[in-house]
Amino acid sequence: MASRATATNRDMLLHSNILGEGQPFVILHGFLGMSDNWKTHGKNFAAIGYEVHLVDQRNHGHSFHDEAFSYEVLAEDLKNYCEANNLKDIILLGHSMGGKTAMLFATEHPELVSKLLVADISPRFYPVHHDAILSGLSALDFDIIKSRGAADKALSEYVSDVGTRQFLLKNLYWIEKGQLALRINLEVLKNEVAEIGEALPSYARFEKETLFLKGDRSEYIGLEDETIIKNHFSNVEIATIPNAGHWLHAENPKAFFDAVLAFIK
């Protein structure tokens, strides 16, 4: 696995892990996630002949922290990344927040995208719904918390679902021996959380092949969203992943992989 950090401004670097060779396949994680969430799928796509770019978006993972945070700047970050790495004819997959970034990028730079895949998010507006999670992460006191187990116990007072806590606690890392911290830029993400729900601009259109994937237990894409999706994406398929919620790629990885593979092949 190669690591690469690139941008037009060396102070504004997007970090990525790059696997395999072939047509570029760029994958964008969701809110409070990181590229590592997609490592298993990335390896599988690389094994069948793609150059997979697992990208950390700004204020997440190993990428830079910055006070600006909106889909406009996230899409611009991706444009800079593609230019710096000479990426063209990309397959672009985004989950949740990453799906919104991918949608905007594809509508603004269709010449760079061959196929678009969006996992469990609609182009519409979503109200803020991460309050408990952000409160729980803010309450983690790393002067007291000295283990992942202790962090999990503290977070459980705010987030009851074990799987969600495991996902969030992937952001933990050791600054030094005995001192934990979070990789995400929590203060900016709290301040700008309303940006996560912003709708795709009404005028945005993408006419190339597009696949929207939704979990059958998820509420992020309903029947009413299908009309909205088709207004923006004229050449679209909408597929349902069974036995899966919002984290469909993790909850039913085989069905997710098979659906993506059938589309990109």
Which residue in the list 16, 35, 63, 96 is annotated as catalytic? 96
In order of 52, 128, 174, 196, the CA distances from 139 in angstroms are 36, 19, 18, 21
Helices (H), the chain: 39-47, 71-84, 97-108, 131-138, 148-155, 162-169, 186-191, 223-232, 248-251, 253-264
Known catalytic membership, residue 192:
no
Which residue in the list 21, 187, 207, 219 is annotated as catalytic? 187
Amino acid identity of residue 104, one-letter, is L
Which residue in the list 41, 60, 246, 249 is annotated as catalytic? 246
The DSSP string of 141-183 is -TTT--SHHHHHHHHTTT---HHHHHHHHTTEEEEETTEEEES
Give yes or no for a contact between 35 and 55, defined as CB atoms under 8 angstroms apart: yes
Over its C-alpha atoms, the chain yields an Rg (Å, rounded) of: 18
179-182 and 172-176 beta bridge pairing:
antiparallel
Known catalytic membership, residue 96:
yes
Give yes or no for a contact between 101 and 78, defined as CB atoms under 8 angstroms apart: yes
| Residue whose C-alpha is closest to residue 3's, from 14, 15, 20, 12 | 15
| Residue whose C-alpha is closest to residue 252's, from 222, 210, 218, 211 | 218
Known catalytic membership, residue 109:
no
Q: Which residues pair with 24 in a beta bridge?
A: 51
The catalytic residue positions are 96, 187, 246
